[in-house]
Amino acid sequence: MTKQETVSISKHFTEAGLELIEQAVQDITFGSLTLVVQDSKVIQIEKLEKIRICDQQPKAASKTVTQVAVGAALRTRILQSVSGMEYGKVAIQIQSGQITQVERTEKYRVGKFMGLNGEGI
């Protein structure tokens, strides 16, 4: 992990928070994981798991080299997605145990405008 990634982790969430996200992604076969960002910090994780009756397969108990590489790539992608975000959400879509999409929705807080609706005139 680079120094820049370490700074990003401490700003947005802790190492334990990243491990929690990685574990949640590994546990979901079909569904999504949404990270809620407020004041530049991940404050909430929403986990939505869909259970498909026809696609039930036993999960492997041990981590493979591929899973470790995916974990590192996932960390990098999450850090990129939340970097610079003050308010918003990052949604990770998962299908068949694979991440298929990462969506970033950023919200901006706007102060009171002068002159809007006749104010300040």
Residue 116: band (very low, low, confident or very high) from pLDDT cuts 50, 70, 90? low
The DSSP bridge partners found for residue 84 are: none
- CA-based R_g, the chain, Å: 18
Which residue's structure tokens are 């590994």?
26
Over residues 49-82, the pLDDT tens digits come to 998 888 665 555 444 544 555 677 888 888 888 8
Tokens at 120, concatenated = 């300040």
Give, to the nearest 10 degrees, the angle between helix 15-27 and helix 65-82.
Answer: 120
C-beta neighbour count of 13 within 10 angstroms? 21
Residue 90: band (very low, low, confident or very high) from pLDDT cuts 50, 70, 90? very high
Mean pLDDT computed over every residue of the chain: 77
Between strands 30-38 and 41-50, the pairing is: antiparallel
Say what the pLDDT of residue 70 is: 62
Distances (CA, A) of 109 to 17, 39, 43, 113, 114: 25, 11, 17, 12, 16
pTM value > 0.75 = no
Over residues 6-58, the pLDDT tens digits come to 444 556 667 888 888 888 888 898 999 999 998 888 889 999 999 888 866 55
With beta carbons less than 8 A apart as the criterion, state whether 97 and 115 touch.
Answer: no
Say what the pLDDT of residue 34 is: 95
Between strands 87-95 and 30-38, the pairing is: antiparallel
Domain range summary for the chain, segments of one domain joined by +: 3-106
